[in-house]
Structures are given as structure tokens and as C-alpha cells.
Amino acid sequence: GIQVEQSPPDLILQEGANSTLRCNFSDSVNNLQWFHQNPWGQLINLFYIPSGTKQNGRLSATTVATERYSLLYISSSQTTDSGVYFCAVDNYGGSQGNLIFGKGTKLSVKP
């Protein structure tokens, strides 16, 4: 089945710094989503981005589907950005539509 790898596994930043999180996937996808899991476990949708570039405030994402990777950029990080960031993709051509998750990047932003 499709494999999803995220890097780095852990990231520690000072408040105000910028960061780039990477997601590599092993096959073609219909769907790629980025999520932020907060300390209470809630998964918050950041981007639905099977291809192209999107921006939302201090966050932006780019997916290069032909090269099978996606990047999440966080600028001017804040302590509230702390948590785990997941990339998830679907099974291309599959009818079930379930998401395959990477193991996440744990981000800690220090004041």
C-alpha cells in the first residue's frame, strides 16, 4: 500500500522563527490533507491540497504531485502552533477513500 513519510519527526523553535515540514508519499494520490493535532487531541484541518499551493495566514502549503511530496510552511511561529502536524493521503483509485497518515512532526515553539 501507499507509504507516507514525514520529516523531521521532532522540531523545536523559538517564537517568531519559520519552519518547513515535509511529507513524502510513495504513489499517486487524489487527496492530500495537512492537519494540526492540538494538545487535547483534536485534529484541525489546515489544508486540502492534492496539488498546487495554498496560503492561510501564516501557514502555506505546496504539493508537487508529480514528485510525490508536499511541504507545509509555518512563518513567524507562535506558542499556539505547538502540537503534532500530520500529513494524510488517500489511496489513488480506491473507492474507500480512507486516509493513510504519516507518523507526524511534533512541533514545540518556545517563548
Partner 1 sequence: DGGITQSPKYLFRKEGQNVTLSCEQNLNHDAMYWYRQDPGQGLRLIYYSQIVNDFQKGDIAEGYSVSREKKESFPLTVTSAQKNPTAFYLCASSIAAGGPYNEQFFGPGTRLTVL
Considering the complex, what minimum distance in angstroms separates the CB of residue 96 from partner 1?
A: 6
Binding region for partner 1 (CB under 8 A) out of 15-23, 52-60, 75-83, 98-106 = 98-106
Looking from the CA of 18 toward its CB, the CA atoms found within 13 Å total 8
Q: What are the residues whose beta carbons fall under 8 Å from the beta carbon of 108, sequence distance 6 or more?
A: 10, 11, 12, 13, 82
Q: What are the residues whose beta carbons fall under 8 Å from the beta carbon of 67, sequence distance 6 or more?
A: none
* Rg, the chain, Cα only: 14
Considering the complex, what minimum distance in angstroms separates the CB of residue 91 from partner 1?
A: 8
Grid coordinates belonging to 16 = 517568531
Total residues interacting with partner 1, rule: CB under 8 A: 24
Grid coordinates belonging to 78 = 507562535
Binders of partner 1 among 68-97, rule CB under 8 A? Answer: 86, 88, 90, 94-97
Binders of partner 1 among 27-66, rule CB under 8 A? Answer: 30-31, 33, 35, 40-43, 45, 48
Q: How many residues does the chain have?
A: 111
Q: Which is nearer to partner 1, 88 or 109 (CB)?
A: 88
Binding site for partner 1 (CB under 8 A): 4, 30-31, 33, 35, 40-43, 45, 48, 86, 88, 90, 94-99, 101-104
